[in-house]
Amino acid sequence: MLRFITINIILILFSACSRQENKDIHSSDSEKFNPKAIELNNKAVELMQRFQNDSALILFDKAIEFDKTYYLPHSNKIGILISKKQFDKALYESDMVIKKKPDLAEGWTFAGMLHEKQGDTITAINYYKESIKIFDERIKNPKKRNDLAANRLNRAFSLILLGQETEGKGEMRKLKAENPNDLMIDGFLKISKQDYMRQMLGNE
């Protein structure tokens, strides 16, 4: 049951992130990214889907070499590195994501989790706070209404990681009341911060 919940946590945590990435790639702003870097990143994602992770890492690194500003390859490397228990490398890639894409709230959340995993709770707290600040800005933005539920849920998730579980779970209960058929929210409500950390990062 917890594994199912974990998969959905990851999907929700990065759902708005993925939508934003797709918007960036197809917008005029994407012209700042090297087309070869985008091509290599996409090929690496295809390798990931075929569980050829080592080959995917090589292509992600090549994509980064072609374009030092392109944050997506760093983001895509994180899951592979966590699966390999290479948390120091995953943390480096997470910090590179938010360095290159500082308005990516989900990036701050996940980087915070990795800092906490490595024992740096002060940085983790600051990162969670930054993610909440960005989520607040998104929630207030009428142009982001389509992502409102995901942003509210991700914000609640960051609150729980920050130690404000009462407030975070309260927001989740409000979302549940507004979306009574969403069983996934029930799963979120049943597990603790420790469950989140253990299942997503492999804490013992």
- pLDDT value, residue 31: 56
Residues 6+ apart with CB under 8 A from 83: 53
The single-letter DSSP state of residue 191 is: S
* Distance, CA of 188 to CA of 153 (rounded, Å): 9
- Give the mean pLDDT of 126-142: 97
Instruction: Express each pLDDT in 3-59 by its tens digit.
Output: 333 334 444 454 444 444 544 444 444 558 999 999 999 999 999 999 999 999 999
- Give the mean pLDDT of 86-100: 95
Least confidently predicted of 3-7, 87-91, 135-139? 3-7
Instruction: Express each pLDDT in 98-107 by its tens digit.
Output: 999 999 999 9
Q: Does 151 have pLDDT greater than 70?
A: yes
- Give the mean pLDDT of 68-78: 94
- pLDDT value, residue 5: 37
- pLDDT value, residue 9: 44
- pLDDT value, residue 202: 66
* Distance, CA of 159 to CA of 112 (rounded, Å): 12
What is the pTM assigned to this prediction? Answer: 0.83
pLDDT confidence band for 200 (50 / 70 / 90): confident
* Distance, CA of 60 to CA of 38 (rounded, Å): 10
Q: Does 121 have pLDDT greater than 80?
A: yes
- Give the mean pLDDT of 112-133: 96
Task: Classify domain 2-33+69-201 at the CATH class level.
Answer: mainly alpha
* Distance, CA of 92 to CA of 114 (rounded, Å): 9
Nearest CA among 87, 86, 113 for reference residue 13 = 113
The total of other beta-carbon atoms located within 10 Å of residue 202's CB is: 12
